Structure 1
Amino acid sequence: MAEIAVIGLGNPLLKDDGFGPRVIRALRSSGLPAGVQAVEAGGSFYSYWDLLLSCQHVIAVDSMLGDGPPGTVYMLSPEQLAGARQLERGLWHEIHFLDVLKMAAFFGARPEVTIVGVQPGEINFCLDLSPQLQARLPQVTKLVREMCCRLLRDSSRL
């Protein structure tokens, strides 16, 4: 059982909307600490549902509309996200991440959740990230890795 789930949300076919899955690929390519599982969720919650029900911490990475320029990084709790202006998912995601968290809570799962959002530059049919998000990818990957290491350290002290 993973203690920490890192979930990359977004559609890799839609340019910057695929930022979350790109972070997951970068994390996997450099190796994950024991106790961390990373999942490319795309638009389907089925790919991470079991993990969500069993882990203690969730770090979700996605593109998100905010007030900053493309590449701006946001760190939010689910409560903060509920009040934030976010990227409309339309047909690409079958269900909003906050709704998935509510369903998980109904089944007794209440992991600590942090959402790492990145302001997209472009959302259109393309497999590549915009230059702004491509440049931000190493920084966000490092940030998420450091968050995982800190959570693992903190939980080992209990």
Structure 2
Amino acid sequence: MARRRTSLAGAGPVAGRVPPAARILVAGVGNMFLRDDGFGPEVARRLAADPAGVPAGGAAVRVVDYGIRGMHLAYDLLKPVDVLLLVDTVPAEGAAPGSLRVLQVRRGDLDPAAALDPHGMDPAAVLGRLRSLGGNLPRTYVVGCVPADLAEGIGLSDPVAAAVPQAMQTVKQLLAGQVPAG
């Protein structure tokens, strides 16, 4: 089973807005076989199936459940993307399980020498190696949830499952150009 680690802990609070008429990729990442690590894919699946849709506001929005397919995400980022919204778990840093954090990732937050595992997903490694693959880091945000349980197993813990609708709303707010506080 491919394990992954989330190493975007150095990313900072959100600044700025999602530009109108942008090409936006909403990427759910995580391993559904590691309980709460399946948060990102669950949010992406629900957003894609939401009958109300995601507000585009003139933007071209794609919602994709990448799971642990880091190379797939890397290759998709070689196509023109103006804004990347990653949905993933994030380190607690004192917050309770199920808490949401919105971060902005900048090039300086990433290690360009990070090893890119073709059979796994480390978002920081994927984004850090993007330039070496011929791409550029788009404006990147993380809608992250603090996990309660990353043990092997299927299904989100209660606090993380309860955070899914709020994460969906946060993604929609970002897409509408309203950066949530936090």
TM-score in terms of structure 2 length = 0.69
Q: In the aligned structure 1, how far is the partner of 2:148 from the partner of 2:127?
A: 27
Aligned residue for 1:56? 82
Contact 2:90 2:146 in 1 (8 A): yes
Contact 1:39 1:48 in 2 (8 A): no
Counting only pairs closer than 5 Å after superposition, residues 9-158 of structure 1 correspond to structure 2 as 9-30=29-50, 31-32=53-54, 33=56, 35-53=60-78, 54-66=80-92, 67-79=94-106, 82=109, 94-106=120-132, 107-150=134-177
Q: In the aligned structure 2, how far is the partner of 1:56 from the partner of 1:72?
A: 27
- Structure 1: gaps (5+ residues): 84-90, 152-158
Q: Which runs of 4+ in 1 moved over 3 A?
A: 79-83
RMSD, aligned CA:
2.5
Q: Which has the higher helix share?
A: 1
Q: Percent identity?
A: 30
How many residues are treated as equivalent by the alignment?
142
Contact 2:106 2:140 in 1 (8 A): no
- Structure 2: gaps (5+ residues): 1-21, 111-116
Q: In the aligned structure 1, how far is the partner of 2:91 from the partner of 2:154?
A: 20
Q: In the aligned structure 2, how far is the partner of 1:15 from the partner of 1:81?
A: 30
